[in-house]
Structure 1
């Protein structure tokens, strides 16, 4: 049985282009980078991912699997 993990408890990595910035929960990344949690939540949305698809040096949040 798969248990759904709340979005705020998932682990993400933040990248600017190909450069790794940091990883952790959204709250941890917010405190490390000074970005708001709302901004980081927005960066996990499909709409944001579509909008940045043309940019090479944009910030992106990548969800990490438990095994990573």
Structure 2
């Protein structure tokens, strides 16, 4: 059985939530595909281009 990843979501420097992709999506009130998009390079470029303070950052937490 494949392991599910754990992700941390931040808005700027503020921690929002921690959990699986589905848990984060449920907490944010969006679809899992939207959280996946938040991890994409395209979304990262959009935020850095406009220097938006409310830009979401999704980081996968690595296992040891």
TM-score interval for Structure 1 and Structure 2 normalised by the shorter chain: 0.7 to 0.9
Q: CA deviation at 1:30?
A: 1.2
**TM-score scaled by structure 2?**
0.78
Q: CA deviation at 1:27?
A: 0.5
**TM-score scaled by structure 1?**
0.75
1:10 corresponds to 2:41: no
Q: Please identify which structure carries the higher strand content.
A: 2
What secondary structure sits across from 2:53 in the alignment? Answer: coil
Residue 17 of structure 2 is matched in structure 1 by 22
Uncovered stretches (5+) of structure 2, i.e. residues with no partner: none
Uncovered stretches (5+) of structure 1, i.e. residues with no partner: none
Q: CA deviation at 1:55?
A: 2.2
